[in-house]
Structure 1
Amino acid sequence: MPQAINLAEKLTKFSDHWSPKIVSSFNGHDIMVVKVKGEFNWHDHADSDDFFLVLKGTIRIETEQGNVTLNPGELYVVPRGIKHRPVAEEEAHLLLIEPAGMPNTGDDATAAVKEEI
């Protein structure tokens, strides 16, 4: 029987920051939720854009072209190849969409391991 995915419920299942959790897939892409707080490392993705949608809280996407502040219900897509880092002064919750298997730092050696929940 088909079931809706409750993102708020999925977010209650973990407390770690900067560790994306896969909740579904779509045309070869992972749909993930993540909790963030503090600064992530500067990185880029040579082969893919980077999609961020804020569910709760506020984040700032710092880029080499300037910064973008996102509040709940707002999204931003970082174009491929642009160095960036998300920053959250307080804990924020995000929805991310990335090609399946793409490392969240753009580099397998430094990426968080993604797990399904």
Structure 2
Amino acid sequence: MAELIEKPTRIESTGNKPKQIDEYIGRVNSQTDVISIAQMHSPSGWMEPGQRPEFDEFTLVLKGTLCVEYEGGKLEVNPGQAVIARKGEWVRYSTPGAEGAEYIAICLPAFSPDTVNRDSD
């Protein structure tokens, strides 16, 4: 049976500035552990700690620019572009541009604070 997701749940963010995370599908909003789908709104100058997650993350940028650092380099992902961060790879996300960024993040399996493996401070 098809299941309507009427609205997302706002999830607390990590990073140097508040970021809006609206989870539509995932462990919190739909009790789904196989995949998570969330819409992100990151302000200008936002940065989170690096991480080595136990899930693949597929990110589609809608507005602004998302900076993605990885071992050996850095990507700037612009509107209409996407990036894949594979599980087990180190990655760090930020939005240094003046307008911040809006993007959709899909994690497979679903995002979990227990499996994101953030860098310690």
Give the TM-score taking structure 1 as reference length: 0.67
Which letter maps to 2:106? I
Q: In the alignment, which residue of structure 1 is the partner of 2:77?
A: 70
SS of the residue 1:20 aligns to: strand
Q: In the alignment, which residue of structure 2 is the partner of 1:42?
A: 50
Q: What per-residue deviation string (whole Å, max 9, x for no partner) do you get for residues 73-117 of structure 1?
A: 111011111111111113201101112352297149x9xxxxxxx
Answer whether contact 1:43 1:105 (CA < 8 A) is retained.
Answer: no
Q: In the alignment, which residue of structure 1 is the partner of 2:35?
A: 29
Answer whether contact 1:32 1:97 (CA < 8 A) is retained.
Answer: yes
CA distance in 1, matches of 2:5, 2:59: 21
Higher helix share: 1
Give the TM-score taking structure 2 as reference length: 0.65
In structure 1, the gaps of 5 or more residues are: 11-15, 111-117
Structure 1 ranges of 4+ moved more than 6 A: 2-5
Q: Percent identity?
A: 23
User: Cα gap change, 1:101/1:48 in structure 2, threshold over 3 Å: closer, same or farther?
Assistant: closer
CA distance in 1, matches of 2:76, 2:19: 18
In structure 2, the gaps of 5 or more residues are: 9-16, 27-31
Which letter maps to 2:110? A
User: Cα gap change, 1:36/1:20 in structure 2, threshold over 3 Å: closer, same or farther?
Assistant: same
Which letter maps to 1:100? A
1:17 Cα deviation from its structure 2 partner: 3.7
**Match among 86, 101, 106 for residue 116 of structure 2:** 106
User: Cα gap change, 1:54/1:81 in structure 2, threshold over 3 Å: closer, same or farther?
Assistant: same
Answer whether contact 1:44 1:80 (CA < 8 A) is retained.
Answer: yes
